[in-house]
Amino acid sequence: MEAVKLIAEYNSLGIADVIDHERFNLIAIDHHSTRIEGSTLTEVETQVLINEGRTPNGKPMEESLMVTDHHAALLFTLENAKVKNSLSVSLLQNINSLVMKRTGKVYNTMLGAVDSATGAFRKGNVTAGVSYFPNFDKVERLTNELVKKLNESMGKPLTVEQQLNLSFDAHFNLVSIHPYYDGNGRTSRLLMNYIQALYSLPLAIVRSENKAAYIQALVDTRQQKDINIFRQFMAGEYVTMLKQEIEKFKEMQKPGKGSGFSFLF
């Protein structure tokens, strides 16, 4: 698996130890994950928003709230992975509630109102494009089964390739259960990052420019019932990200490149 070799090179170069690398990496995750869900903020606007708290001019406030809420959810996710907190249904609900904290809506159903900002399971059936998701009355059972299966897998010795595939599979399975009214994609990608962080792997990013291919990979995987389709898509995204990071780092290490600019006086 090409990704395994690149992870070894990435770690040997000490890229994760570079000052501010983690912060910029997390901002890239915020940017791409929210762009997939409709945010129009650029990466620079996302960076200024996260670092300085300045909202971009001419952009809906809801988009800035989506980004800052995602950042809080990402930090929460990684902190739980860092201290080795076990994966649980309540942890996933907490992640989802942070994702939707200030943009969630109340859904009125025959079974009562559901506030999507609380991480509560949906009480109605949902579709997205050509995808139909499990009936709402199966959501709690399926989510519990997924968490149990993931914990069992994480309790066993795994190769780096198996660790990566586990994170990709968790991503696919949670978004396919679609347990919440809103924020399923972001929460599922954060679950993937949680597992990667737990194993001290570089964090995957689904690039927003590949949104159509990403959605198609999800659809094809469901329709053909072949998890390898999604694994291959995610591995491709992961390899591209690692190659770009390694290339940028090596370029920075070249003589005269360390400062990123040269004085003209």
DSSP string, the chain: -HHHHHHHHHHHHTGGGSTTHHHHHHHHHHHHHHHHTT----HHHHHHHHHH-PPPTTS-HHHHHHHHHHHHHHHHHHHHHHTTPPP-HHHHHHHHHHHTTTT--EEEETTEEEETTTTPPPSS--EETTEE---HHHHHHHHHHHHHHHHHHHTS---HHHHHHHHHHHHHHHHHH--SSS-HHHHHHHHHHHHHHHTTPPPP---GGGHHHHHHHHHHHHHHT-HHHHHHHHHHHHHHHHHHHHHHHHHHHSTT-TTSS----
Of 31, 70, 71, 178, the catalytic one is 178
The answer to whether 185 is annotated as binding is: yes
Q: Is 21 designated active site? A: no
Q: Which amino acid is at 224?
A: Q
Nearest Cα to 203, choosing from 143, 163, 233? 163
186 annotated among ligand-binding-site residues = yes
Cβ(163)–Cβ(199) below 8 Å: yes
182 annotated as belonging to a binding site for a ligand: yes
Q: Does the annotation place 167 within a ligand binding site?
A: no
**Catalytic residue positions?**
178
Write out the binding residues for ATP.
Answer: 182-189
Write out the binding residues.
Answer: 182-189
